Amino acid sequence: MISLRPYQEATVQAVYDHLRNRDDNPCAVVPTAGGKTPIMATICRDAVTQWNGRVLILAHVKELLEQTADKLRIVCPEVEFGIYSAGLKRRDTDSPVIIAGIQSVYRRACELDAFDLVLVDECHLIPIEGDGMYRQFLADAKIVNPHVRIVGFTATPFRLKTGPICTPDGFLNHICYEVGVRELIRDGFLCPLISKAGEAKADTSSLHIRGGEFVADEVESLMDDSELVKAACAEIVEQTQSRNACLIFASGVQHGRHIVQTLQDEHGVECGFVCGDTPTVERDEVLKRFKAGGVKYLCNVNVLTTGFDAPHIDCVALVRPTMSPGLYYQMVGRGFRLHDSKQNCLILDFGGNVLRHGPVDAIKITTMDRGDGKAPAKECPACRAIIAAGFSSCPHCGFEFPPPERKQHEAKASEAGVLSGQVTNTKFSVEDTLYSVHIKRGADEDAPRSLRVDYKIGWYEYKSEWICFEHQGYARQKAEAWWRRRSRDPIPDTAQRAVEIIAGGGLAETNGITVRSVSGDPYERIVDYDLGLIPEGVPAEPWYDPDEVPF
């Protein structure tokens, strides 16, 4: 039996709380390599042994089915389970837990009989509308048992064109728990990523878009340029000399074979290759050799984005551009798994994906064909590291970026003041608030820390402020006033103590903020808050005069 990590246990409890207290269907968001399978196995065990229920687990690739079966054997050996999958040559229908491939069962809900719970792995594949396999099966399952509950699991709770996968009238309605990439890397559960742009980059500005994605034939034609392939392969070999395993994503079958041939002819290295047309026996043999270290390079086309588990991968080469933030995340996520042989995973991006979508722990979601704002990341011209757009200097090599150029013309009318000094106040609802200890970059070790507060106001959109408990004078006065409005606890002397009190529930929630911008001033300020109740019965009326708050 395995022990769940703290966030995995929290996910299980959040699912149970949702099923007890709400009538709709929850979704849990756990990053790639964060261990969704043990979570699902635990829910299966509890549903069968404690509540005498029956559970179906749905997935779309046989690798996920095999992983789930392996975890069930470990987590709950006392629970009988069956598999229904043409690819695995099994047709079990009577067990209390059934693991099924959606392609095999989408017309067979009645044959499988009633379930109390349906767990859907990679649930972002359920379309918002239409008559896809998932929607057909789930609709039939609700006819067989009108009380069936559906629980989704995914690392990417959004779709390319339709946005969030949880909607009031969809099969999934509410995200009950979400843990982010940044937290899991910080806590040592995921491998850190570093990213570099390829020296030879394709210009995708001329590509057409269909259905929210680049037209496949045009992408392959662009990326299969001989000089580009030659340059990309040379850089891949150069950058991976001291690395264990490199997974390459190509733009098409012809392009992928071109990469394999170039690596062989120009550099004398063997590269495996799999695509949708690769026979199953051959594919399994190639993947087995790659996982065992028999071949260092593996090129694929659209087949290893989900369900592929090779923890020793320490380089992912993106030799294909994509408009899909979900596909970008799934490709990069192949390097998230921990392994004793690696300290980090290098992302080599030849398709401009990191610049297009942003760092993988802060992906920018858009429904616009070409994006809806400035790039969320930028490339360092000195070392080619790809970093968040907000950095004024490269954290890898120290390169100082010049001040940003002002655009001559905006695509839409601005709400900013037209005259210098004109004030604009904008109110935002706050979806979540993150607190952390912050030290100024380049400061001495004994320099004062501050409490960084990040208010989430949209999909990976944040407004931030810094509360200076460890400073003197006016900055400390502001911090004291800020704290008194939110807590009955003594004002902390350090940022770390503030975080500890907040983690213990000692601070009122922030429901909304008002942000003030002044024309001609590049910096915004948060000037007002919509706060929840102060914890532990503090009188609703403040004992101080709000008009005297020094900010």
372, two tokens: 């809806």
What's the CATH code, domain 191-388? 3.40.50.300
> CATH classification of 6-184, choosing from 3.40.605.10, 3.40.50.300, 3.40.50.720, 3.40.30.160?
3.40.50.300
Q: What's the pTM?
A: 0.64
Average pLDDT over residues 534-544: 49
**pLDDT per residue as tens digits for the range 460-491:** 578 889 999 999 888 899 999 999 999 988 99
Average pLDDT over residues 386-401: 61
Question: 3-state class of 210 per DSSP?
Answer: strand
Per-residue pLDDT, 113: 92
Do 310 and 286 form a contact (C-beta atoms < 8 A)? no
Per-residue pLDDT, 387: 60
- Is the model more confident about 442 or about 374? 442
Percent with pLDDT over 90 in the chain: 44
Model confidence at 89, pLDDT cuts 50, 70, 90, reads confident
Q: Is it the case that residue 330 has pLDDT exceeding 50? A: yes
Give the domain ranges of the chain: 6-184, 191-388, 423-548
Q: Which DSSP symbol is given to 362?
A: G
Percent with pLDDT over 70 in the chain: 83
> Between the ranges 258-267, 306-315, 353-362, where is the mean pLDDT highest?
258-267
How many angstroms separate the Cα of 45 from the Cα of each of 1, 72, 121, 157? 11, 8, 17, 25
Per-residue pLDDT, 549: 38
- Judge whether 6-184 and 191-388 match in fold: yes
Sorted by sequence, the CB contacts under 8 Å of residue 155 that are 6+ apart come out as: 29, 30, 31, 32, 34, 36, 329, 330, 333
**pLDDT per residue as tens digits for the range 340-366:** 999 999 989 998 888 887 777 665 554
529, two tokens: 């808050």
Q: Is it the case that residue 146 has pLDDT exceeding 90? A: yes
Do 534 and 508 form a contact (C-beta atoms < 8 A)? yes
Say what the alpha-carbon torsion angle 100, 105, 109, 112 is, to the nearest 10 degrees. Answer: -50
> What values do phi and psi take at 486, rounded to 5?
-125, -15
Model confidence at 420, pLDDT cuts 50, 70, 90, reads very low
**pLDDT per residue as tens digits for the range 367-392:** 444 444 445 556 666 656 666 555 56
Strands of the 81-85 sheet, one edge to the other: 90-91, 81-85, 97-101, 55-59, 117-121, 149-154, 26-29, 174-178
Residues 513 and 126: their CA atoms lie apart, in Å, by 35
Q: Which DSSP symbol is given to 393?
A: B
> What values do phi and psi take at 271, rounded to 5?
-135, 120
236, two tokens: 């891949």
Q: Is it the case that residue 246 has pLDDT exceeding 50? A: yes
Q: Which of 532, 510, 363, 360 is nearest to 429 (CA)?
A: 510
Per-residue pLDDT, 315: 94
